[in-house]
Amino acid sequence: MATHTTRRRFLKTTSAVGIGYFVTSGLRARGDSPNENIRIASVGVGGRGSANSRSAGRAGEMVAICDTDTARLEGAGNRFAGAKQYTDFRKMFDEMGERIDAVAVSTPDHTHTAPGLMALRMGKHCYCEKPLTRTIYEARLMGQVAREQGVATQMGNQHSANSGLRKAAAMLRAGVLGKVTELHVWTNRPIWPQGGERPDPQPAPDHLKWDLWLGPAPERPYGPGYHPFAWRGWWHFGTGALGDMACHTMNMPYAGLDVRDPVSVQAETSGHNRDSFPNWSVITYEFPATDRRGALKMVWYDGGKRCPPELLDGEEPARSGALLIGEKGKMYSPGDNGTNYRLMGGAEEIEVEFTPSPGHFAEWINAIRGGEPAMSNFPDYAAPLTEMVLLGNLAVWTAPEPETLGPKVQWDAENLRATNVEGLETLIKPEYPDGYILDA
């Protein structure tokens, strides 16, 4: 550990003056010695992992890449000729731990936490795709361990860096809508199959290490559709449309109104078998008053359900978006990411100050080099956001009957406990099999 600490201190003392420039302009980290480069490992190099590993490779030296799909691994190997290749992140850390400064995790939701925690506990800086984790307890733990280790972290809700989102959030904090009482947030997802039965078992393709792909998830046979994309629709692997998109669509209201730690959630769904997520859901969150705002409710819609047009003064809502309703008017943000907004119902633009971003990935690199923490760092932002988002899936679980309102799940956020509904324990905190570590 002494080597890791010395290395990290060296990187933190390196000047951060030019970092935003060289990352956003596509140049590599500069230095007179190779040791001045940040040495990065990428776990997951397909899908979002392809983009994230490219960003990491521009910001530092990619020394190791890992993917359970050897075809994807080979493709990434062509981009990072000097990186050692692995199909098991545990072996990668065992063999390369002393040579890794930072790790980017871009895998399916169920395998965010295991490599993320291993990296954090080894003192590595960590970037992880959204949602930060598959379950609420994992999110809490990732935030706690990141804080204890004092490393630089960031979740991949990249629109957090957009100036439109930051300005809208700053106006909300400054009271542009006065007291906000309602939020409505919706998405056109899912765009993958869900709500059905498991595919028929088949032998896994030769290029996929199925047992490693499953990782800490319960064992099941391979079937077509799980990999590389439709895993999102299965409870053991993904987090449904809510987990996939709410870290984007709820992000601006979360930043502006501090909507965390709800006291209850309740859902209506199209019905589901508790193996695959429903085709649609409508989830109502209730938040208590804080010293910054009054009590409010937030309604989430997915699978074609949207904000009622009458709340938009008769306007047909966009396929995805967010609407905030306050005593001085409304703020409407059409689209998935909260970066565009317009004021309605008498609300008027106000002058606000906010800190522009040098770029989402650049924020993480700046933090590694001793700058300010990234906006979406694990302890202060990403973990509480993920906890809040994923709480909605507890309500979805309790509403398996079609078009029938489930019970209102009363939530004790401090203790991560549903106080009035039993049987949710493994949805809150998963049980890892031998070979994978959750609690150290």
Q: Give the model's confidence band at 249: pLDDT under 50 very low, under 70 low, under 90 confident, else very high.
A: very high
Instruction: Assess contact for 430 and 438: CB atoms under 8 A.
Output: yes
CATH number at residue 127: 3.40.50.720
Residue 9 pLDDT > 80: no
Bridge partners of 287, per DSSP, are 296
Mean pLDDT score, 393-410:
98
Domain encompassing residue 125: 2-160+361-377
Residue 23 pLDDT > 50: no
Rounded Cα gap, residues 386 and 130, in angstroms: 8
Q: What is the pLDDT of residue 248?
A: 97
Q: Do 149 and 168 share a domain, yes or no? A: no
Rounded Cα gap, residues 71 and 168, in angstroms: 42
Residue 287 pLDDT > 80: yes
Say which range, 23-32, 37-46, 106-115, has the weakest mean pLDDT: 23-32
Write the CB contacts of 90 (distance below 8 Å, at least 6 apart in sequence).
118, 435
Q: What are the CA-CA distances from residue 239 to residues 22, 41, 186, 230, 426 (Å)?
A: 35, 25, 16, 11, 14
Assign 299 to helix, strand or coil.
strand
Q: What is the pLDDT of residue 170?
A: 98
Crossing angle of helices 136-149 and 383-397, in 10° steps, is 170
Q: Do 373 and 285 share a domain, yes or no? A: no
209 part of a folded domain:
no
CATH number at residue 318: 3.30.360.10
438 part of a folded domain:
no
Q: How many CB atoms lie within 10 A of CB 265?
A: 26
- Element (DSSP H or E) covering residue 149: helix 136-149
Q: Do 373 and 405 share a domain, yes or no? A: no
Long-range Cβ contacts of 268-272 (<8 Å, 24+ apart)? 268/399, 268/403, 268/404, 268/405, 268/406, 269/396, 269/399, 269/400, 269/402, 269/403, 269/406, 270/195, 270/303, 270/402, 270/403, 271/195, 271/400, 271/401, 271/402, 271/403, 272/195, 272/396, 272/400
Residue 31 pLDDT > 50: no
Per-residue pLDDT reduced to its tens digit, 44-56? 999 999 999 999 9
Residue 372 pLDDT > 60: yes
Per-residue pLDDT reduced to its tens digit, 154-192? 999 999 999 999 999 999 999 999 999 999 999 999 999
Q: Do 170 and 58 share a domain, yes or no? A: no
Q: What is the dihedral of CA 221, 224, 229, 232, to 10 degrees?
A: -50
Q: Do 409 and 264 share a domain, yes or no? A: yes
Q: Do 368 and 423 share a domain, yes or no? A: no
Rounded Cα gap, residues 56 and 54, in angstroms: 5
Q: How many CB atoms lie within 10 A of CB 394?
A: 21
Residue 32 pLDDT > 50: no
Per-residue pLDDT reduced to its tens digit, 336-352? 999 999 999 999 999 99
Q: Do 108 and 187 share a domain, yes or no? A: no
434 part of a folded domain:
no
Q: Do 80 and 119 share a domain, yes or no? A: yes
Phi first, then psi: what are they for 92, rounded to 5°? -60, -50
Q: Do 345 and 423 share a domain, yes or no? A: yes
- Percentages (nearest 5) of helix, strand, coil residues in the chain: 35, 20, 45
Q: Do 327 and 249 share a domain, yes or no? A: yes
Q: Work out how many domains the chain is built from and give that number.
A: 2
Q: Do 154 and 168 share a domain, yes or no? A: no
Say which range, 19-33, 135-149, 297-311, 414-428, has the weakest mean pLDDT: 19-33
